[in-house]
Copies of this chain bind each other. A is one copy, B any other.
Amino acid sequence: MRIVLDAMGSDTCPGPEVEAAIQAARAFGEELFLVGPEKRLRPMLEAQGGAGLPIRLVEASDVITMEDKGLKLALKAKREKSQTSMAVGIDLVKSGQAQAFVTAGNTGGALATAFFRLGMMQGVERPALTALFPVKGGSCVVLDIGANPMVQPEDLVQFAVMGAVYAAKVQGKSNPRVGLLSNGEEAGKGNDLVKAAFPLLQASGLNFIGNVEGKELFGGEVDVAVMDGFTGNVLLKSSEAVARLITDMLKQELKSSPITMLGAALASPAFKRIKQMMDPGEYGAAPLLGVDGLVFIGHGRSDAHAMFNAVRVARQAVQADLLASVKSAIQEQVAALERRQQNIEKESV
């Protein structure tokens, strides 16, 4: 197995990536591709004792930055000769030299590069960006968190199928519970999209538990939650912002007197564990689902620990043969849809 790690992704790259590559090579004993400017990477790798490890540096002279967008980003993603670390890295997956690509870089850049270079999985209309939300008692696979601001009801079913396969194969959850994010738990609640997707999800053969709100999602009552990318992005960003607001307020308040400061010091192990639970780095990276290859995207703020976890998650996905499982689940869903369509046509004859 070979995993490709984009050395130029995280906000403080390539430090965390080089360190994570060394940790991963030691932990897993398998070859790893580290993609970026060799001149910068080799001295760092050697200085940290990574010279003898099975880490293969792959030259990429260009990079997609957080500022790249629009046409510039599209060209960097699409051009055959693109030398960005994402393009070079994803081409290694495309050519079969590696089984998964991991980056903590520009999410839109990773999405576009994967879309143009790997193409879509057969039968999938739109790729979905996934996030693993920390929820009560574990985590929830949430998609789409921003690839598609607007989708069709059928897309939500495909997101659900792909998310459920991820929860089952990589997270080891049997018969994962799927929820449709809505403005109320009752059936019948929702905008036009949600109302149209509801019966399709009911007929999908998935373990669909119906509409869910924040309460059910963060309460750990679903393993997978689906929504359009506009709503998912609002959900992700606002959840992060609320968590930050509470944490900041608490810090501020705890500093307000010597007594509360002492209390905070004594309680610090509890705070640390909360921080760890809420830290996206603990989950490492989340998959981009629907493209024809395994791509994992981590948070821009990832440190070495987070990048190591990202490689770990990507390995789990390769070991579980996630790509083949998603493909076959999508094929089944497409076939079932066709059968239902034929039955409807027969009945109406």
Interface residues of A (CB under 8 A from B): 69, 134-136, 146, 149-150, 181-184, 186, 189-192, 194, 213-215, 217-219, 227-231, 233-235, 237-250, 253-254, 256-257, 259-260, 262-271, 273-274, 277-278
Contact = CB atoms under 8 A, between A and B. Distances in A.
Contacts of A266: 259-260, 262-263, 266
B270 A267 contact: no
A151 B146 CA distance: 21
A260 B254 contact: no
Given A229-B183, A234-B234, A245-B218, A267 B260 contact: yes
Contact of A246 (B214, B260, B274): B274
Contacts of A243: 242, 246
A141 to B, nearest CB: 16
A239 B240 CA distance: 9
Contacts of A247: 246
Contacts of A263: 262-268, 270
A191 B76 CA distance: 25
A243 B219 CA distance: 11
Contacts of A183: 146, 149, 229-230, 233-234, 237
A69 B186 CA distance: 11
B259 A240 contact: no
B214 A241 contact: yes
A234 B218 CA distance: 12
Copies of this chain per assembly: 2
A238 B237 contact: no
Contacts of A134: 245
Nearest to A185: B237
A219 to B, nearest CB: 7
A245 B214 CA distance: 10
Contacts of A240: 214-215
A343 to B, nearest CB: 32
A296 to B, nearest CB: 21
Contacts of A254: 267, 270
Contacts of A149: 183, 189-191
Nearest to A190: B149
Contacts of A182: 230, 234
26 contacts: A136-B245, A136-B248, A182-B230, A183-B229, A184-B233, A190-B230, A191-B228, A213-B233, A213-B237, A214-B239, A218-B241, A231-B231, A239-B239, A239-B242, A242-B242, A242-B243, A250-B271, A250-B274, A253-B274, A254-B267, A254-B270, A259-B269, A260-B270, A262-B266, A263-B270, A264-B267
Contacts of A249: 136, 274, 277
Contacts of A264: 263, 267, 270
A242 to B, nearest CB: 4
Contacts of A233: 183-184, 213
Nearest to A69: B186
Nearest to A248: B136
A239 B243 CA distance: 9
B238 A218 contact: yes
Nearest to A215: B241
A271 B229 CA distance: 35
A273 to B, nearest CB: 5
